[in-house]
Structure 1
Amino acid sequence: MNAERWEHIETLFERALDLEPAAREAFLDEACGDDAALRGEVASLLASYTAAQPFFARLADQVEPIVSARLEPPGAPPARIGPYRIDRELGRGGMGTVYHAERDDGQYRQQVAIKLLRREFASDDVVRRFLAERQILASLNHPNIARLLDGGMTETGRPYFVLEYVEGWPILDYCETHRLGLEARLRLFQDVCAAVQYAHQNLIVHRDLKPGNILVADGAETGAPQVKLLDFGIAKLMQPGMDGHLAMTHTDVRPMTPLYASPEQLRGERVTTASDVYQLGVLLYELLTGQRPYARFEPTAYQIERAICEEDPPPPSQAVPPGGARPPWSRRLRGDLDAIVGKAMRKVPDERYESAAALSGDVERYLEQRPVRARRGNVTYRFAKFVRKHRVAVAAAGVIAVLLVTLAVLSVRFALVTARQADLVARERDKAAQMASFLVELFQVSDPNERQGTDVTAEELLLRGASRIETELRDQPETRAMLMNVIGRIYRQLGMYRQSETLLSLALDERRQALGDWHPDVAETQQELGRLRRAQGAYATAESLLTEALAMQRALFGERHVRVAQTLSDLGWVLHNKGEAGRAAALFNEALTMRRELLGPRHEDVAESLSSLAAVRRHQGAYDEAEQYYRQALAMYREVLGPEHLQVARALNDLAAMLQDLGRYDEAETYARASLDLYSKLFGTEHPDVATSLSNLAYVQQNKGDYEAAEQGYREALAMRRRLLGDDHPHVAHSLNNLAAVLQDQGRFEEAEPYAREALALYRKVFGDTHRLVAQALTNLGWMLRNRGALDEARPLFKEVVQIRTALYGGQHPQVAQGRIYLGSLLHRLGRWPAAEAEFQQALSVLADSMYARHPLRAMALSSFGELRTDQGRPEAMEMLQEALEIREAVLPPGHWQTAETRSALGACLMQQGRYEEAEPLLRQAVQILSERRGARHPVTQRALARLAQWDAARPDPGTPSPR
């Protein structure tokens, strides 16, 4: 009898059972018609069923009292188990009951889950299996597997063990509740694969992977979801047991969940890691579609088992969930994801993925738009994947050769394409050939026979490439524009802005002429040009370019796309540089949300968004929140990219700078050194990024007062940058500026001034006269002149700082307020008190917004203005200085030099009022801290020493009471 006929017999039998016995004959007459054999088979089954009913009734009568006596009544859990107080039941499984409990024996408090063997199943075999699960869990230590905390026997001899309590949802419920998109679901699935792979590496097969055994909790530290794999109750231990024998579960017991079981489990055959791979495939199917693969067979166990063993489920892209509403990503399932699920769920174990890691790896290939192994061998597919991923420049001639060979094969495979498709393939082939020829000839300059013993620098290679684009690709506009875009981007990354501007502007014109104004490649070049304008400090132009690129990408790709998220981030940085912190934070948050939805909660782009948000919050003075974001970004980069990656080095540096703002110099130095060590490991000791990291470490040392070490670091960075980048690079100006500052801190003003002037001249040469770095260099030179007494010479420099920043950011920007504070302080020293007062008042008006209420910049304004009011003899001086001190003590760590500076100013104010006893501790504490933090020769320390000397000279005799 074939399977189809037997299925028909079974269906008629089940329908007949639903009828009263008197109605069955009429039903069979109608359903079987003239097929007497069919009627006979169904009638025979009905007769056997009827004859067996008295036996089963007697058996039930005998078994019921025994079972009732041994079963625990629901809702009556034990009050305690060992040191744990039971408060509720969490669930019941095939072997035991799980309770929520809390340890309350006085040692410590902890929420746990306790699994207790049910009394009715306390046979020797089941107890052995229960204890085997405890042994399995004890051998597993993985972040995605629930940890075993404790275990033992109750007073009545029932084994139990204690697990970490996971406050979470079953994985399917989590995805639906949090409305996770396709990429986020795939990332969660990869976490499950990681846990299963770890178990397999420890010779353990789970055998019961299903959504109910996989919980997802919201991560306490990173905010990212945390997968936890539970219930190893029927796991198969593939290693020697405690007694030295292989701990094998008897196959005749066949513990499993049929809807998720593999064919070999249902047939009672040998179970291996391939069985878990199958169950992972079923889980992935349900994550993608919202339904189980064999949902239509679920009414009977027989139909389920037969379908799993003999039939293929519909591919995920064709699955229709109950109600008919497909997920929004259903079209994206066709192709790669259909193939991945299909390979994982093959009937023959050897045809599945060889491991959970291999399955996860294919999912990663899908996410990265690379060819997946499940479709290996399909040349057409692999070519299409290649073109989608490499639509822009192909970076090596060897890859081009592969592309050309593929195209040659496709010329035969695509013999029946339409004329338009053939033309497209021909154009891509021509572009590939042009690119190959260009790159091969370009890189021949690195051949020893070609370069004749001379070293070829990256700059020379780029210059050669740019020149050849101009002369040799005039009649290939798309290829020409593609190469100009690539080389222009590299020029920008190297800080060669003029060369970058030339190529990117030409590329944009070429692409608009060749492709029209509304095309993905046009948006790409416009985005690159916007990044360049931001680097040049032309923020208004950058904002315009990026806003237009963003609108184009949204129209072309949809509202939610990785390229849209990147442009949102780029635009956010422009707004951040302009001082529009609120708008910048909104864009960074939008990009973060989009990236989490598209890429999953743990991705390098998500880490980038966290770092961007940290920068905004740091700028706004929300240091605790900023530090949290920086640490989350660092942890995510390490997790996703590995501990030795360029982005990890950058994140270490960002965190060091943040901690330095807070005066936590020892911590900052630790992270700065870690960043430098990693850069050196990645690039060697001679690299521009190593020079930058060396300079950042020196800056921490400078703020700690270790001027000798800081000076040495700055000089090494300057020399390295001159060697690697040339004398006219902006990074050389950074080093000159830094070196001037540390020399100034040591009181070596005449030695410092030439470096400061050279830095200013170089910034003007590279960026023009209205760049933020020009304003920074003017500020440093102005302070240098002020500290050596050249006040009149310093005044126009500070005025220019205010003018530049106002032009860049508008008058209500905190950077403008800072410039006005510096100018006001100088005017105070010059004796121009009304003008100084006006500058301080304007600065405080900018900082009147509530978000600056506890900002260090407001404390700076109040402290400087308070010093002026002290000299003017105005009573409000005391209130200003006290508020400044309160802010600095609140937001800066103990012992910060700026807090000490304000203490000194407050002491001087008290001294002016004759309150010498109150002034003394403030003045002495300030001198001690400033001497330690800034050094005895620093101008701010010298001023504090002068005030203490003034107090010592002016104080009354000890026996004379201070006037009030």
Structure 2
Amino acid sequence: MRYSAFISYNHRDRGWAAWLHRELERYRLPKALIGRDSPIGPLGRRLPPVFQDREELAASTNLAGSVKSALEQADSLIVVCSSNGAKSHWVNEEVREFTRLGRRDRIQCLIVSEADTPEGPPRPANEIFPPALLQFGAEPLAADARKSGDGKRAAFLKLVAGVIGVRYDELRQRDHARRQKQLLTLAAAASLGFLLMSGLAVFAFISRADAVRERDLARQKTITAQRTTDFVKGLFQVSDPSESKGQSITALEVLDRGAREIQGQLNNEPDVKAELISTLSEVYMGLGSYHRADDLIRRSLSLNVSRQETRARQLGVLAASRTLQADYDGAVATYSRALQLLPHPEELQDSSLYSGLLVGKGEALSGLERDKEALPLIGKALLWDKQHDGERSPSVARDYESAGLVTQYAGNLAASRSNYDKALAIRLATHGKLHPKVSEDLNNLGTAAYLQKDPAAAERYWRQALAINEQIVGPEHPDIAIQLNNLARVLLEQRKFAQAQGLLSRSAKIYLAQRNDTHDDLAFVFSNLALAKAGLGQRKQAGELFERALKAAEIHNNRLIAPIMTDLADLRCAQGDYPKASDLLERAGPLMKSQYPEDDWRSAWVTNTKGACLLRQKRKAEAEPLLRSSTPIVLQRWPVQSMYGYKAKERLSGVAR
């Protein structure tokens, strides 16, 4: 087949069709699926082309030849379903034609919202599905991209699963695992490395703007530098209390003002204007406003700059934006263009620009799982920065941090920890303990230690990071709740239930002050707090918390559903409610297997809990084989002194009594 899919849509739903086409064309299949046989042949890194760009046909009784040909060469038909599509003559004809070709089982539906119609109660099937889809009686299964349905990401993955012929749960799990691998380190630090207080963001902007001004003064001593100074001074005048009249001015408000004002200034100094816009874009990214950063830097590329160094800096910022949007191919290409503009890096006024581009390209390559290409670039940047800035410079620390990130993605956790350790030593010496990068490095060290199954080290690093972050953003900041939960989890796994309970109670309190109790993050917090309560013998409170955690997990279809059911079943069994425990375990088993296909110990834990419950009922003959088969699998993952290892060993010892 020439096409993996044909997208059928009404012209009023063109925006949805364009979004779906773009996502399908750029989606990279998880590494574990490459080479697997599928309806479209052995799977490669990307899907074969997707047909979308047909214009609305003139009214006639037959489909145009080109559309018929495309349908014949498409393995799947994806129908964009809405009231527009249901009324479309040509969408209906395309469904009929694809059915005539004998491939009705390869038709998938995507239900979408309509720009001029707010989401409301579910509509009847005949209002959203073309008649040809309903003529066989049953309402077709569909992915629902609306907020009230699956949401865009889940709906998209359902369609991909149908195209390549794998179970949705398997694709979701593998896609999630890949994204987790890429984002684990960044996620641990994002809560405090990017969302800084306004003062820190403003300080970062002023520092960079001052650096631009000072560099230009030293090099050119022209009026350009004075104009830069005037712009920066005018930008922050709004922070004067007499002007703001007591109102708090956020960093984003200052940046938005700067982004507006820079458009009408410095038109005769395009290089300075480009430098300042690059700075504004970088600060936007630092505050998590990725779309604003991307729009600003893209528009600045129309400036007629005279210096290749300035253009390379612009492209570097654009490439960083693409990396943050997970467009790793685009980022690699843009970083390559920027590096081509610097044929003689020794002549640069800012030597760190060259190494920054090398590091950025390396991280983007790592996002594509091309770690063997990424590490030499980062090594080259490290050598460059040591030669030009010294062994203990911030740029060298940055290079070590990037090396730590890439080696962690590659699975070399020992090298990752070593790199982060070196970066941390430099950050402490140059920036002091309260710098966000210090906290970020500690978080990353904790993550690497946790993945190495070194809970004591993970606890130590995360405690240090938490103490620093509480000073930076305050003890009640929402991001502190995330760190409290993560630290408590590693304490739970070490059976330090009392310590974990205190941290989790704080975490829940912070969450509940700003979110409702069915927020998906609270599934983690409530279930962990329930484990702590159960470990301390507080069964009634533990049961209530497990029920709240399960409710939040089920509302959001969270992966924790099966683990929570298993832990709740263990508690109900201990309370003598054997029917409830049995029901929970029967439901948890298949879910655990589908949601955690690569974690054998999780399914073994369901079996182990079932055996323990049978043992409590004096049904030793049934319990013994379950416990003897599952305990070794659990102990392969968890040491005997851990929460799971200790419990599995204790349950098995009950067989001998």
TM-score, normalised on structure 2? 0.47
Kindly indicate whether structure 1 or structure 2 has the higher relative contact order, using CA contacts under 8 Å at least 6 residues apart: 2
Structure whose alpha-carbon radius of gyration is higher = 1
TM-score, normalised on structure 1? 0.34
